[in-house]
Amino acid sequence: MSDEQDLAFETLLNYLKQSWRIDFTGYKRPTLMRLMKKRMQRVEIGSYSDYQDYLEANSVEVDYLLDALLLNVTTFFRDPQAWEYIANEIVPRILEAKPNNELIRVWSAGCASGEEAYTIAIILAEALGEEEFRRRVKIYATDLDEEAVAHGRLATYSSRELRDVPDELINKYFDQSKTVCTFRSDLRRDVIFGRHNLVQDPPISRLDLLICRNTLMYFNAETQARVLARFHFALNDTGFLFVGKAEMLLTYTNLFTPFKLKYRIFAKLPKGKLRDRLLAIADAANTEVGHH
Ligand SMILES: C[S@@+](CC[C@H](N)C(=O)[O-])C[C@H]1O[C@@H](n2cnc3c(N)ncnc32)[C@H](O)[C@@H]1O
């Protein structure tokens, strides 16, 4: 990639940020460039600066570009073994930490069309029973992509989209028409969809489980670190963070500790522990210089 092309690309990102309030500057360049090139080929444009001119002249193109850059690919029970582990090992721990029928709060961040949010809804309804689920569970499902969020809120999926859900669970949790299935409305009330930008917006807080899968990987290290610091704040001390199969928390290892690395499930390191550790280090340093 030539410097000139890099420069034209950065100019285009700044244009999107300033004119459209779409900020992709914290995203990894190779992925972004690959996705944008694909879209440019569709409209037969070769250079980033020509594409910027095209965007300036055709505002609808901005929507197409957004669609191309935000990959909404998702499925129910994506990585089934990891979800099995969540159902068998993590959910019981979450319930144990809440002996007094307290609320259970979950956030599916970067939820795309909602499959992940309904997956955890099914798991929690199976664990608690429907009545207790309705009483105690709040699941927040957010994404930057408005259309995806609208799809999730509608909760309507084709049988193809439901292919990874066992029949017995489809029958139990979905209303079925000839062509589509819709997640039951009485349970859907506790799954709340909204538009939320992980890079800019304050997090949803007091969480027991934060699911953010196959989304952090689009961010550069600095942005990931910023988002992870917010996630740390957003979780209860006994909370868990569940990320995608191919994702590692390279930055901020002092905020989370692997709970089941194979399935990318992390436990929050409570602030107290972190503070204790820092104090211990400070103490040791003070002792050395004779302040004690
Ligand atoms: C590949 S999908 C992951 C869907 C689901 N979590 C899964 O793992 O199956 C990535 C999602 O991240 C969303 N996304 C990208 N940047 C985002 C941001 N800054 N804030 C919130 N969501 C974002 C995209 O719109 C897309 O729906």
pLDDT tens string 17-75: 999 999 999 999 999 999 999 999 999 999 999 999 999 999 999 999 999 999 989 99
How many Å apart are CA 219 and CA 221, to the nearest integer? 7
Domain ranges of the chain: 3-69, 80-272
β-strands 235-243, 256-260 pairing = unpaired
CB contact at 8 A, 27 and 227: no
Ramachandran angles phi, psi of 225, nearest 5°: -60, -40
Question: Of 194, 191, 206, whose CA–CA distance to 125 is shortest?
Answer: 191
Tell me which of 77, 144, 210, 213 to substitute to probe ligand 1's pocket, judged by most ligand atoms within 8 Å of the beta carbon: 144
- Look at ligand 1, atom 27, and give the residue with the nearest C-alpha: 112
Query: Residue written as tokens 């935000």?
Result: 70
Residue-wise DSSP of 184-250: -HHHHTTEEEEE--TTTSPPP-SEEEEEE-SSGGGB-HHHHHHHHHHHHHHEEEEEEEEE-TT----
- The per-residue pLDDT for range 102-138, each reduced to its tens digit, is 999 999 999 999 999 999 999 999 999 999 999 999 9
pLDDT bucket at 251, cuts 50 / 70 / 90: low
> Which pLDDT score, from 0 to 100, does residue 232 have?
96
Given a cut of 50, whether residue 177 has pLDDT beyond it is yes
Whether residue 235 contacts residue 41, with contact meaning beta carbons closer than 8 Å, is answered with no
Q: Confidence band (pLDDT; 50, 70, 90) for 248?
A: confident
Q: Which band of pLDDT confidence, cut at 50, 70 and 90, is reported for residue 207?
A: very high
Share of the chain above pLDDT 70, in %: 91
Q: Give the mean pLDDT of 203-211.
A: 98
Does the C-beta of 74 come closer than 6 Å to ligand 1? yes
Q: How confident is the model at residue 278 (pLDDT cuts 50, 70, 90)?
A: low
Class for domain 80-272, per CATH? alpha beta
Ligand 1 pocket test, candidate residues 108, 143, 151, 228, most atoms within 8 A of CB: 143
Of the options 1.10.155, 3.10.50, 2.60.40, 1.10.1040, the CATH number for the domain spanning 3-69: 1.10.155
Taking CA atoms only, the protein residue closest to ligand 1 atom 3 is: 214
CA gap 146, 153 in Å, rounded = 11
More confident residue, 38 or 270: 38
Ligand 1 pocket test, pick from 215, 224, 230 with the greatest ligand atom count within 8 Å of Cβ, gives: 215
Whether the CB-CB separation of 61 and 36 falls below 8 Å is answered with no
Q: CB under 8 Å to 237, separation ≥6 — which residues?
A: 268, 270, 271, 272
- Mean pLDDT across 179-192: 96
- Displacement of CA 233 from its chain's centroid (Å): 15
**Within the chain, where are the H helices?**
3-20, 29-42, 48-57, 60-69, 80-85, 91-96, 115-128, 130-136, 146-154, 167-173, 185-188, 221-234, 271-288
**Counting Cβ atoms within 10 Å, is residue 194 exposed (0-12), middle (13-18) or buried (19+)?**
middle
Among 101, 106, 83, which residue's Cα sits nearest to residue 207?
A: 106
Q: What is the mean pLDDT of residues 265-290?
A: 65
Per-residue pLDDT, averaged over 7-15, amounts to: 97
Ligand 1 near 28 CB (within 6 A): no
